[in-house]
Structure 1
Amino acid sequence: MNKGCTFYFVRHGQTYFNHYRKIQGWSNTPLTEEGAEDVYRSARGLADVKFDAVYTSDLSRTVQTASIILEENKHADELTIEMMPEFREVFFGSFEGEDVDKAWAAINKELKYPSVAEMYAQSSIPERMNATKKADPHNDAEDFLTFWTRIEEGLMKLISKHRDTGEKILVVAHGNTIRYLLNNLVAELENPQPLLNASVSVATYRDGAYHLEKYNEVRHFKDIE
């Protein structure tokens, strides 16, 4: 039987744009004090997990989060962070830095649902991403195909390197990146909820298939005793 490999996907801690409810995407803002503390709590709960490799996007909030996780980990002496732009968040084009509610109201004008709440309830992820590109006056926002091609290329690099090794791989990335990735790879995950900051989602890859073990998990958070 193949050993497969296991991915620990961790969303970064709360940033100032998260706190201010602004569209973040490729924009860089640091973790808030609360965000860093949540990462420390998550890291303490993962301290006994022996990771074999660590990857992040090339955005500062994921690198900051991964650094805290390694700081708290008991087996991380030989590990270094490898940044991969493939795992960036969705790019929202000229909506970057915009108020979340204003941005989605503008995007919903393309989809024409009675409200933003109904848009979220009734539209698919690809529909919303494609509408974001259409609504962007500069047409710079990523549509779903562009985004998916990018993150799939990143994942295939990891599969090529770690498949059938039995290794545990830490990937610190972004809420939409992790959620959309797992939504398309894991058959049993339907309409996944948005991810909490510093949450952990675990998926195994074996014999060409992905299996979800945990999603949006925060029960492992551990305070200082």
Structure 2
Amino acid sequence: MTTLNLYLVRHGQTYYNIFNKMQGWSNSPLTQQGIDGAKQIAKRLAGTKFAGAFCSDTGRAETTAQIILDHNHASDLTAPHTAPYFREEFYGYYEGTDITSSWYLAAGPHGLKSLTDIVEKYSFDTAKDFLKEADPFHMAEDHDDYWQRVDQGFALIANDPSLHDGDNVLVISHGNTLLSLMDRYAPGKYDLSKRPENGSLTRLKLVDGQIEVVSYNE
């Protein structure tokens, strides 16, 4: 049995986070507060020896990962392994648009008004499906598209020959991804009306490729 300890950190605050814009595969830079927040979590993790580090190929994730690794004196890692598998949910036509308006358009045809309404009645997976339905180009990821991609990211980690039983692995993640992981692997355990903070820590165990949730939004 091989167990890997995953340290999932949400990227630092970005300008799109401030402007309440949908930020999936699109990207905006870290704010100064975002940089400072990344440095704070870097200090918390400075003594944790990481055998691997992974993040999406978006600037906000790469910058956050690099700040953490630059402050980590317990590891020999100099740069993260970037891959598209670790990206946030793809919002298709709604990338870069107002969050509240976008989810209203997705929820409206189903008699609802917001992402919160969808999740309370259904799930985060259903929210993905509703957004793809509302996308005039139908390019947004539904839950099948999303998990097929994200699962490849966890498989990439699980099958990395440089990682061994008991190793710690840094993973820079995203807000809706962390919520989706909790909804899928720890249903009902956490209050998911509270979004994970930028720079927060969520811990998972990857046991023979299977995910177990240890903590959320520390």
Q: Which runs of 5+ in 2 are unaligned?
A: none
Q: Which residue of 2 aligns with 1:131?
A: 130
Q: Secondary structure at the match of 2:140?
A: coil
The alignment of Structure 1 onto Structure 2 pairs a total of residues equal to 215
Q: Residues 164 and 206 of structure 1 are in contact (CA less than 8 Å); yes or no, is this contact kept in structure 2? A: no
Q: Residues 186 and 210 of structure 1 are in contact (CA less than 8 Å); yes or no, is this contact kept in structure 2? A: no
C-alpha deviations, 1:24-66, integer Å up to 9, x for none? 1111100011111111111111111111110000011000000
Q: Does 1:206 align with 2:207?
A: yes
Q: For 2:204, give the aligned amino acid.
A: A
Q: Which residue of 2 aligns with 1:104?
A: 103
Aligned-residue offset at 1:3 = 5.0
| Mapping for residues 10-159 of structure 1, pairs under 5 Å | 10-113=9-112, 115-116=113-114, 117-159=116-158
Q: Residues 53 and 80 of structure 1 are in contact (CA less than 8 Å); yes or no, is this contact kept in structure 2? A: no
Q: Residues 8 and 203 of structure 1 are in contact (CA less than 8 Å); yes or no, is this contact kept in structure 2? A: yes
Please report the TM-score for the alignment, with normalisation by the length of structure 2. Answer: 0.90
Q: For 1:95, give the aligned amino acid.
A: Y
Residue range with higher mean Cα deviation, 156-165 or 142-151: 156-165
Q: Residues 183 and 191 of structure 1 are in contact (CA less than 8 Å); yes or no, is this contact kept in structure 2? A: no
Q: Secondary structure at the match of 1:161?
A: coil
Q: For 1:101, give the aligned amino acid.
A: T
Residue range with higher mean Cα deviation, 8-17 or 75-84: 75-84
Q: For 2:130, give the aligned amino acid.
A: A
Distance (Å, rounded) in 2 between the aligned partners of 1:92 and 1:201: 23
Q: Residues 52 and 79 of structure 1 are in contact (CA less than 8 Å); yes or no, is this contact kept in structure 2? A: no
Distance (Å, rounded) in 1 between the aligned partners of 2:118 and 2:211: 29
Residue range with higher mean Cα deviation, 122-131 or 18-27: 122-131
Residue range with higher mean Cα deviation, 205-214 or 7-16: 205-214
Q: For 1:183, give the aligned amino acid.
A: D
Aligned-residue offset at 1:120 = 3.7
Aligned-residue offset at 1:126 = 1.5
Q: Which residue of 1 aligns with 2:175?
A: 175
Distance (Å, rounded) in 1 between the aligned partners of 2:144 and 2:191: 19
Q: Residues 158 and 209 of structure 2 are in contact (CA less than 8 Å); yes or no, is this contact kept in structure 1? A: no
| Mapping for residues 182-197 of structure 1, pairs under 5 Å | 182-186=182-186, 189=189, 192=192, 193-197=194-198
Distance (Å, rounded) in 1 between the aligned partners of 2:41 and 2:83: 22
Q: Secondary structure at the match of 1:19?
A: helix
Q: Residues 44 and 72 of structure 1 are in contact (CA less than 8 Å); yes or no, is this contact kept in structure 2? A: yes
Q: Residues 107 and 132 of structure 1 are in contact (CA less than 8 Å); yes or no, is this contact kept in structure 2? A: yes
Distance (Å, rounded) in 1 between the aligned partners of 2:198 and 2:94: 21
Identity, in percent, stands at 33
Q: Residues 12 and 39 of structure 1 are in contact (CA less than 8 Å); yes or no, is this contact kept in structure 2? A: yes
Q: Which runs of 5+ in 1 are unaligned?
A: 218-225
Please report the TM-score for the alignment, with normalisation by the length of structure 1. Answer: 0.88
RMSD between aligned residues: 2.0
Aligned-residue offset at 1:190 = 5.6
Aligned-residue offset at 1:201 = 0.6
Q: Residues 90 and 140 of structure 2 are in contact (CA less than 8 Å); yes or no, is this contact kept in structure 1? A: yes
